[in-house]
Structure 1
Amino acid sequence: MATNETRALTPVEDEVLSLLHSLGVPETSWRNGTRPVRSPITGEVIAQVPEADAAGAALAVERSVAAYEAWRAVPAPRRGELVRLLGEELRAHKTELGRLVTLEVGKVLSEGLGEVQEMIDICDFAVGLSRQLYGLTIASERPGHRMMETWHPVGPVAIITAFNFPVAVWSWNAALALVCGNSVLWKPSEKTPLTALAVQALFERAAHAFGSAPEGLSQLLIGGAEVGAALTDDTRIPVVSATGSTRMGRIVGERVARRFGRSILELGGNNAAIVSPSADLDLALRGIAFAAMGTAGQRCTTLRRLIVHEGVYDTLVPRLAKAYGSVSIGDPREAGTLIGPLIDQAAFEVMQDALDAARAAGGRVHGGERVAIGGHADAYYVRPALVELDAQIDIVKHETFAPILYVLRCTGLPEAIKLHNEVPQGLSSSIFTNDLREAEAFLSAEGSDCGIANVNIGPSGAEIGGAFGGEKETGGGRESGSDAWKAYMRRATNTINYSRALPLAQGVSFDID
């Protein structure tokens, strides 16, 4: 946002200003700062946010420790009430926050609203969870003894998020961490700080309604690598949840491990779908199109590799190429648009480099070119690219965060699974088949090696009820549903002797006079 008050605001600036005001974000947090924020829709600067530094991060951690020490003593169902209030704020402001996501990230409006719905859903999940943080009662081998597990809050949790899901991923972590009794510190992507500021404002409103939340329970730190390093290295933070590239995850994971902290890593995905001869091709076409082109290919679960049986290849792939050539690309706020812009110029250049490498290896590229939308020279709209290849070359084994779908032929399920698994990443996967044996083989220990494996849907669109995450270079972390809450707590095994004797385990004898 320019500091010159006499200049007329552009339409995008004006809309951002209106949304930030309606969401309760103070002007001091987005005007006249040092870091410019651009909207990928037009490429223009829409705000200037202040940045934290390492010293500021250290003070924030100090406040977070104090908040944790108070919050851990609050009963878990009471902690759930705060998260319920946060969910109510999100419900009340879903339209405004969803539209801000669209303006800052470039997602089509239905996806921006869907991201906020994910936040609402995880709040509902966490509220129920606040009454289910239970351990086991375990049979003891010693008479007159009872053994059990208890789960306790672990401490401040640092959450580092990426631009593509600027608010939902925070909520997956924060809602669980809060009901588990922890405080949270959030470092959002430098590319998407406005949505983070909006969520922080809504959290503070919920905390005010709650009435007794300790100060510093949830804090926001906008900044670059210096802030990330400060959070990663601070021994007062026992858990760091980081979402982003594999390169980033290697840095975070190693630094946290050096001080014996825990990492929840959600890193790169290079997701594949297999299309078998028995597949419903109409269903497959729809599933592939959304998974590969949705969010302009900027999801960790985006479909990036398509492995098609030779018996249906010549039927499916031409239909897919036609869909790629006709999909609507444009301003994501407009009805009918399916593909919005890439986040920035760097993303466009990485995409073009990957396509050049595929062409050099003999790949047949459909699409991939830049598309002029609205005369915005600094906005990067592209036509999604479909690349037919004869082999899974090196570039295919690297995640390119853009709408590129590599297509390979296979002769049967064993070859398809081999191609599927021979990449370093292991996030999400799918198979389109009406053959029960093929489906079960794909889901078995000898099938997909990913953390998510689907049948007759694409690899994207995970629900919050299931644990989200992957294997290999995806990092092994799990967030959101199922028992992912255990990553935000510490476990204690307790033994109670209610007898007057003192038998030792394993029959050990140690008698003294």
Structure 2
Amino acid sequence: MPIATVNPATEETLKTFDPLDAEQLEHRLAAADAAFRQYRDTSYDHRTDRLRAAAGLLDQERDEVAHTMTLEMGKPLRAAQAEVAKCVKCLRWYAEHGPDLLADEFPAADDVTDSGAVRARVRYLPLGPVLAVMPWNFPLWQVIRFAAPALLAGNVGLLKHASNVPQTALYVEDLFRRADFADGCFQTLLIGSGSVENVLRDPRVRAATLTGSEPAGRAVASVAGDTIKKTVLELGGSDPYLVLPSADLERAARVAVTARVQNNGQSCIAAKRFLVHTDVYEEFAERFVRGMRELTVGDPMDADTDVGPLVSEGGRQDLADLVEDARTRGASVLCGGGRPANRPTGWFYEPTVLTDLTPEMRIHQEEAFGPVASLYRVADLTEALRLANDTPFGLSSNVWTQDEEEQERCAHELEAGAVYFNGMTASHPGLPFGGVKRSGYGRELAGHGPREFCNVKTLWYGAED
């Protein structure tokens, strides 16, 4: 895959980039290693000052950065602007809260005296250069949510971004440079996916994080396992959205539309499977389908656009294949189901709702990465939970109920990294983020993010006499 900016709304190649050659790549790996040897000894005050500086620069440049993201991957411009604002918030959050998250911990003396210690402490120390393999769908947020906690902890970053968002990738490197992080603290590697293994096997690279597809996650985890290196993986999701009788149906249906089509439907944490109690199914379905039909599909630079194009022709075809498989096996298409007639150019797909779904349909198990919703009628909460967990994924989930017993049961039984009650899943710097099952392992954000790439070092002190 060439390293290039291709506008998915027009299919026009705007800019291409040459990948790093072997000598250039070696120079960057050496620079990361040298930078870490100095940066790991800097104070938290130094690091948080740099994070604040990066936040200030990004805030000033939000319109320019948002425009670049929309050109490269097609999200509506206002969504890109919101993504930039979220990244500013994340940088500032870690600048404010970070030192407390990584402060030394002191076990109570009474708890460790039988070890022979008179005192003990736990210290969090950085591992070294971390390779980040990042996707195109949130080209700035995915990077910042790794970079802010990693840099706070004293690690340095090597970014292998998706090949279709090279301008955003280079911007992030430049952002941290202009925020006065030392040379080599954060670098973008313009390399193809075939070069990732050699970078990860390099002994100077101490760990890796990947957000992306299952095959990419398996490949990185395999190499990391072979070389005994820590990894964090955030992979696919097929998040359930449960609607039970006590739900506020007007709000649940309105939020459901946003939850399904956010980022043009190309989000791991987008709600994809809507499991609705039979007592409220008809009313919810009517509201939900109407909301999906009313969305405006069009130029992502237009302020009136709700849904822009998918990122590539291949992505659109994969989505169309899932819909066609379901249709031929008996699914009903309540709205959408194809390419918009008024968009002959660009990789657009209509907001779509499918129902009458059965387990043999591919979409019952596979992730639909685009604005296609699967709508199920369920008899009760037990059936809803069974269907919700009948997936290889376990990233997040959404539950709409005012019943506290139902909430507690969902909190306990849903197989997911998060449950959002009466609201839509959204990552936040103060909350841990990650999944279970084939959605990956490890956690980003909150206090867990910086600690994932730390040496949790035990310090034991015996009597001096």
Q: Normalised by the shorter chain, which TM-score bucket?
A: over 0.9
Alpha-carbon distance between aligned partners in 1 of 2:234 and 2:117, rounded to the nearest angstrom: 45
Match of 1:486 among 427, 443, 451: 451
Partner residue in 2 for 1:188: 161
Match of 2:243 among 275, 285, 300: 275
Partner residue in 2 for 1:152: 125
Percent identity, aligned pairs only? Answer: 28
Match of 1:344 among 304, 308, 312: 312
Task: Report whether the alignment pairs 1:114 with 2:82.
Answer: yes
Partner residue in 1 for 2:91: 123
Q: How much does 1:394 deviate?
A: 4.5
What is the root-mean-square deviation of aligned Cα atoms in Å? Answer: 1.6
Task: Report whether the alignment pairs 1:293 with 2:261.
Answer: yes
Alpha-carbon distance between aligned partners in 1 of 2:149 and 2:5, rounded to the nearest angstrom: 29
Match of 1:406 among 374, 385, 390: 374
The one-letter code matched in structure 1 to 2:448 is D
Secondary structure, counterpart of 1:349 in structure 2: helix
Which piece of structure 1 moves more, 297-306 or 97-106? Answer: 97-106
The one-letter code matched in structure 1 to 2:29 is V
Secondary structure, counterpart of 1:327 in structure 2: coil
Secondary structure, counterpart of 1:250 in structure 2: helix
Q: How much does 1:135 deviate?
A: 3.1
Q: How much does 1:82 deviate?
A: 1.1
Secondary structure, counterpart of 1:371 in structure 2: coil
Q: How much does 1:264 deviate?
A: 0.8
Partner residue in 2 for 1:417: 385
Q: How many pairs were matched up? A: 457
CA-to-aligned-CA distance 1:28-68 (integer Å, 9 cap, x gap): xxxxxx74320112110111112124554333222101100
Alpha-carbon distance between aligned partners in 2 of 1:474 and 1:130, rounded to the nearest angstrom: 27
Alpha-carbon distance between aligned partners in 1 of 2:309 and 2:196, rounded to the nearest angstrom: 27
Alpha-carbon distance between aligned partners in 1 of 2:67 and 2:342, rounded to the nearest angstrom: 19
Match of 2:462 among 489, 494, 497: 497
Residues 55 and 368 (structure 1), Cα distance of their counterparts in 2 relative to 1, 3 Å cut: farther
Bigger RCO (CA 8 Å, 6+ sep): 2
Partner residue in 1 for 2:171: 198
Task: Report whether the alignment pairs 1:465 with 2:433.
Answer: no
Residues 144 and 456 (structure 1), Cα distance of their counterparts in 2 relative to 1, 3 Å cut: closer
Residues 319 and 480 (structure 1), Cα distance of their counterparts in 2 relative to 1, 3 Å cut: same
Unaligned runs of 5+ in 1: 1-33, 208-212, 501-513
Q: How much does 1:390 deviate?
A: 4.2
Partner residue in 1 for 2:103: 134
Match of 1:163 among 136, 139, 150: 136
Match of 1:391 among 358, 362, 376: 358
Residues 53 and 257 (structure 1), Cα distance of their counterparts in 2 relative to 1, 3 Å cut: farther
Unaligned runs of 5+ in 2: none
Please tell me whether the aligned partners of residues 241 and 264 of structure 1 are also in contact (alpha carbons under 8 angstroms): yes
Alpha-carbon distance between aligned partners in 2 of 1:36 and 1:128, rounded to the nearest angstrom: 36
Alpha-carbon distance between aligned partners in 1 of 2:407 and 2:60, rounded to the nearest angstrom: 42
Q: How much does 1:404 deviate?
A: 1.4
Q: Rg larger in 1 or in 2?
A: 1
Match of 1:450 among 411, 416, 432: 416
Q: How much does 1:322 deviate?
A: 2.0
Alpha-carbon distance between aligned partners in 2 of 1:350 and 1:384, rounded to the nearest angstrom: 15
Alpha-carbon distance between aligned partners in 2 of 1:61 and 1:492, rounded to the nearest angstrom: 26
CA-to-aligned-CA distance 1:287-323 (integer Å, 9 cap, x gap): 1100111211101111110111111111211222222
Residues 170 and 36 (structure 1), Cα distance of their counterparts in 2 relative to 1, 3 Å cut: closer
Match of 1:435 among 389, 398, 403: 403
Q: How much does 1:375 deviate?
A: 4.9
Partner residue in 1 for 2:439: 474
Please tell me whether the aligned partners of residues 101 and 166 of structure 1 are also in contact (alpha carbons under 8 angstroms): yes
TM-score normalised by structure 1 residue count: 0.86
Alpha-carbon distance between aligned partners in 2 of 1:359 and 1:372, rounded to the nearest angstrom: 20
